Structure 1
Amino acid sequence: MMMQISNDPASNKHSLLNVMHRFMAAANNMDETIMVPSLLRDVPLEEQANNNNNNDDDDMAESQVASNKQRDMYEHYLLLKSIKNDMEWGLLKREMSSGASFLEIAVKQEEEEQPSVKGDLAVQDNADLEHQFHYHLRGLFGVLSKLTLQADHLTNRYKREIGGGNFMR
């Protein structure tokens, strides 16, 4: 008996398309939930230590969020939105607006570091391309999974803070 494999890559929970879809959905949910992003200004990424009723997933997301360089939730919100826009619109839109994204800079550096291909080196470079692809694919999976957790965490934290009135000064 042969095992049947679905032709729809998005149906595989481990596919790149599925991971990208989950991040986009989390970022869209964040965008729809956070009606007044300016309320996130000057709100630290880390919640106060006296909030001990978080579950393990929230603690993991908080530790990932806390490791980022953004000073407050507003900057983190803008970062997640920017990444979502880059994924949705690609680098062309950013090039047209004359700002260079981190991805664009990385691609340019990668191209500059690659020596020109001649003769027998082409076969070796093709094998190296497969290695590079798998290396970057693993990295992309990890980054998108973390970004999804962070977008979900930011959304949930916004809901808790607004619900409790903690943003009011």
Structure 2
Amino acid sequence: MMQLCESSKQKHSLFHAMNRFIGAVNTMDQTVMVPSLLRDVPLPQAERAPGAGGGTPGPGTDGGAGGFFGPSRDMYGHYVLLKSIRHDIEWGVLQPPAPPDEARRGKDRPTADGDGAAGGAPGPEEDLEQQFHYHLRGLHTVLAQLTRKANVLTNRYKEEIGFGSWGN
């Protein structure tokens, strides 16, 4: 009983959203046996429209005529991008080392009052909670959109190779 209660609360957790995305990309990766077949295959029209899937474009969207991933990517480009994002979530993103002159000046270190040396750094600590929630909501939105993209790509690949007519 306790586990059921926890799982219903956890469905809105960041871990759950990441696991759904990773699972969708894993399914996509297992389904797409010949990724090169995705070259030059356009996305369905609904996926290219701005704000496709309802709502307004979230963080990371271009909001322009190209929709979520931009106008020039074919299905293969989406496939590679989704796998790359999965890799970054699973293994982290390596930060390039700071150039020696910036490291010596301490530009990337915050000052004692919490303000960074650059203008865009976090402000007072009470803003940190707001910033955290803003970015968490944005991350949830992006992960949901990426999960949907992986599922659309998987289904589109099945259509392209005629897998849907085999009776899953």
Q: TM-score range by the shorter chain?
A: 0.5 to 0.7
Identity %: 52
TM-score normalized by structure 2?
Answer: 0.65
Unmatched runs of 5 consecutive residues or more in structure 2: 54-65, 98-106, 115-122
User: Aligned partners of 1:72 and 1:39: how far apart in 2?
Assistant: 11
Deviations along 1:87-127, whole A, 9 cap, x unmatched? 011013x75xx9xxxxxxxxxxxxx68862328xxxx7221
Partner of 1:79: 81
Are residues 46 and 27 of structure 1, via their aligned partners in 2, closer, same or farther at CA, if it must alter by over 3 Å?
Answer: same
- CA contact 1:10–1:17 (8 Å) conserved in 2: no
Q: 1:35 aligns with which of 33, 36, 47?
A: 33
Question: 2:41 aligns to what SS in structure 1?
Answer: coil
Alpha carbons of 1:163 and 1:8: their partners in 2 closer, same or farther (altered >3 Å)?
A: same
Distance change >3 Å, CA 115–CA 13, structure 1 → 2: same
More RCO (CA 8 Å, sep 6+): 1
**Does residue 141 of structure 1 match 2:140?**
yes
Q: TM-score, normalised by structure 1?
A: 0.65
Return the match for 1:90 from 87, 92, 97. Answer: 92
Question: What is the deviation of 1:27?
Answer: 0.5
Q: Which has the higher helix share?
A: 1
Quote the residue 1:18 is aligned against. Answer: 16
1:164/1:152 CA distance change after superposition, 3 Å: closer
Structure 1 stretches of 4+ with a deviation exceeding 4 A read 4-11, 112-115
Write the letter of the residue equivalent to 1:75. G
Q: Which structure 1 segments of 5+ residues have no match?
A: 48-58, 99-111
